[in-house]
Amino acid sequence: MTTPAQVDVSDEVQELFVALAQGDPGILGAGLEARTEFKVLSGLDSRSYALVKIAALIAVDAPPASYVWQVANALTEGATPEDILGVLVAVAPQVGGPRVVAAAPEIMVALGLTLPDGM
């Protein structure tokens, strides 16, 4: 087993790591600008684009902060919780059950739902 490196990290660098870990839009600004360009290039309407992004998050086993961000975007663009559930069901055969099972509670939290005890 390897042990974490013991290095000095400045407060500024540590704050940037925290901001990235939390999906801070100020830090990710350049990516947000590219998002707009890619959305236009996709030819999809805003709602469909947001739902496809959720499908991609499920496929790559994204971290929880990504779901909070993208589910909020999808809801803002007119998607419903039923639409988001439909995405989970639709991608299950391609990404596999474990990815869907891992994503479901993250999406539930992003929707403001309470997870069952033991999760």
Number of separate domains in the chain: 2
Each residue's pLDDT tens digit, 7-21: 888 898 888 888 777
Q: Are residues 111 and 90 in the same domain?
A: yes
Please tell me the pTM assigned to this model: 0.74
Question: Domain range spanning residue 100?
Answer: 45-119
Each residue's pLDDT tens digit, 44-77: 999 999 999 999 999 999 998 899 989 999 999 9
Q: Are residues 36 and 62 in the same domain?
A: no
Give the pLDDT confidence score for residue 41 in this predicted structure. Answer: 83
Give the pLDDT confidence score for residue 90 in this predicted structure. Answer: 97
Q: Are residues 50 and 37 in the same domain?
A: no
Q: By three-state DSSP, how is residue 23 classified?
A: coil
